[in-house]
Amino acid sequence: MSTTGHGHSEPGADPESIAVGHELKDTQTRPLVFAALGLGVLLLVSFIVMGIMLRSTGNTLADTSSNLPTTAAMQVQIPPSPRIEQNPIIDGNQIVADATKKLAGYGWVDQQAGTAHIPIERAMQLVVERGVTGK
């Protein structure tokens, strides 16, 4: 007869299992015990290897509080710009307003060098009048 996967060669449930109310031959404990023992041995070997590595580098697991940064080094530092926007709508509107003001108005880029910015419309008129060379 063929095996049905119930742990015995007869079709259907084992009469002993029916009498007890649960499957008696479902699990083989030997592989589970070997797996648990193997895992325990692996953990023990890992700890031993880590200890050997720590000793070979000269490090210990002693108190390392003296290696903590000082209070001056622990002060909060503000990251460089651009930072994450706290209110994207207001920040976005401000960016657009600043750009529009710069594109539509007059102002100095570098006053010492004599470099200024002018409105786009005026710049286009000057390009049409004078050409690309600017003379």
pLDDT > 80? residue 133: no
pTM: 0.32
- Evaluate whether 11 touches 4 at the Cβ level (below 8 Å): yes
**For all residues of the chain together, what is the average pLDDT?**
80
Q: What percentage of the chain's residues is helix, strand, coil (to nearest 5)?
A: 50, 5, 45
**What is the rounded (10 degree) CA torsion for 108, 111, 115, 121?**
20
**∠ Cα 41 47 53 (to 5°):** 135
Structure tokens at 115: 């470099």
Q: Which one-letter DSSP state was computed for residue 110?
A: E
- Evaluate whether 23 touches 6 at the Cβ level (below 8 Å): yes
| pLDDT band, residue 42 (cuts 50/70/90) | very high
Predicted confidence at residue 131, as pLDDT, reads 85
- Evaluate whether 82 touches 94 at the Cβ level (below 8 Å): no
Predicted confidence at residue 1, as pLDDT, reads 42
Average pLDDT over residues 112-133: 88
pLDDT > 90? residue 40: yes
What is the C-alpha to C-alpha distance for residues 121 and 124, in angstroms, rounded to an integer?
Answer: 5
Give the tens place of pLDDT for each residue, 76-90: 777 777 777 777 788
Structure tokens at 41: 């041995």
| pLDDT band, residue 3 (cuts 50/70/90) | very low
| pLDDT band, residue 67 (cuts 50/70/90) | low
